[in-house]
Amino acid sequence: MRRWLVTGGVGFIGHHLSRALLERGDSVTVLDDFSDAPYPARLKRRHADVLSREYAGRVDIVEACVTDRATAARLTSGVAGVIHLAGLAGVRPSFAEPARYAVVNVEGTATLLAAAQRAGTPLFVFASSSSVYGNATPLPAGEDAPAIAPESPYAASKRAAELVVSAMIRKTPEMRCPLLRFFTVYGPWQRPEMAITSFLRNVMADEPITVFGDGSMRRDFTHVDDIVRGILAAADGAPPGVRAYNLGSGAPLTLTELVAAMSRAAGREIRVERAPVPLGDVDATFADIARARAELGWHPQIRLDDGLATVVRWLASEPA
């Protein structure tokens, strides 16, 4: 049995990952500050209670921020690896609090990695984002693209954190440090304001949905179960040093196509209202996943219609 430190381990992706690690017999220490934005604290508390009850003795929940150096030093000691999912997410809210995003996402990552290096931790998995590519990167986006024109403070903070990690690993080149760029992750327990969850909640309540722009924006929607498998594959198989990997479906859809798929999943007609594209939203996300296939043996397995069905079932059983 191996013990892992999972930061953000009671958030959306973190909850699913923590459960997957525990299900395979490992133990987990979760580090989360239980902040209320952008992921609701009430959902984090619920996840923490479920994990503590179902996996008593194999999971510890620590409430603290990733910028806390003493906590980082204590929790990185003796673990098989750090899987760093914690951070402030969300393109739009990052314009309101850019300094907070920089502190949590950049300083927090540097603090945690420095502690892991001092502890001799062999693995540091960093959860990045497709947002680092912006609008300037040719599609499908490959990991070696420059990624030098972020469209939001959130995207800039994730790219800055990647660069800090790349520089810090020069001190410990034997350390394995995959940078995982997630593409539009969805599934049960997703953040309530994200498109698929908010759209389907409205659809099931027979309310209209608001689509930004004319419906032509494209997104590479990736189910959370595929993302979790990708994280585990990277934790098990990434080489020494820093290596970036795209984790996406590799098959982007327009928002118009997404609406049609949601209509099928919910079994209902959908009424659409239009709104201007918000500041910071990119025109398209489209992952080149060849590297993850070749080096990690990973590929997405969940079709969109099947993935949307999991969200519909979740919303029906957990409407809050």
Q: What is the C-alpha to C-alpha distance for residues 222 and 197, in angstroms, rounded to an integer?
A: 13
Dihedrals phi, psi of 153, to nearest 5 degrees? -60, -35
The pLDDT, as a whole number, for residue 320 is: 55
Pairing of strands 124-129, 218-219: unpaired
The pLDDT, as a whole number, for residue 38 is: 82
CA distances for 230 relative to 98, 138, 151, angstroms:
29, 24, 26
Number of domains in the chain: 1
Q: Which residue has the tokens 């920089």?
A: 102
The pLDDT, as a whole number, for residue 37 is: 76
pLDDT tens, 211-264? 999 999 999 999 999 999 999 999 999 999 999 999 999 999 999 999 999 999
Residues 6+ apart with CB under 8 A from 61: 9, 10, 30, 32, 48, 51, 52
Q: Provide the terminal-to-terminal Cα distance of the chain, rounded to the nearest Å.
A: 35
Residue 145 scores a pLDDT above 60: yes
Q: What is the C-alpha to C-alpha distance for residues 121 and 151, in angstroms, rounded to an integer?
A: 34
Catalytic site positions: 154
Dihedrals phi, psi of 244, to nearest 5 degrees? -90, 145
Smallest CA-to-CA distance from 251 within 297, 214, 293, 218 is with 218
pLDDT tens, 280-315? 999 999 999 999 999 999 999 999 999 999 999 999
Length, in residues, of the chain: 320
Is 305 within 8 Å of 264 (Cβ atoms)? Answer: yes
The domain that holds 62 is classified in CATH as 3.40.50.720
The pLDDT, as a whole number, for residue 319 is: 57
Buried b (16+ CB within 10 A) or exposed e, 153-164: bbbbbbbbbbeb
Average pLDDT, whole number, for the chain? Answer: 96
Q: How many CB atoms lie within 10 A of CB 301?
A: 11
Dihedrals phi, psi of 247, to nearest 5 degrees? -120, 100
- Residue 307: HSE in the Cβ half-sphere, 13 Å Cα cutoff: 23
Range of the domain at 160: 3-317
Please state the rounded mean pLDDT for residues 166-194: 96
Q: How many CB atoms lie within 10 A of CB 278?
A: 12
Residue 207 scores a pLDDT above 70: yes
Q: What is the C-alpha to C-alpha distance for residues 28 and 38, in angstroms, rounded to an integer?
A: 24
pLDDT tens, 80-138? 999 999 999 999 999 999 999 999 999 999 999 999 999 999 999 999 999 999 999 99
Please state the rounded mean pLDDT for residues 7-30: 97
- Residue 136: HSE in the Cβ half-sphere, 13 Å Cα cutoff: 9
The pLDDT, as a whole number, for residue 126 is: 98
Q: Is 114 left (phi over 0), alpha (psi -120 to 50) or beta?
A: alpha
Q: What is the C-alpha to C-alpha distance for residues 183 and 224, in angstroms, rounded to an integer?
A: 10
pTM of the model: 0.96
Q: Which residue has the tokens 């314009």?
A: 95
Q: Which residue has the tokens 């929790």?
A: 75
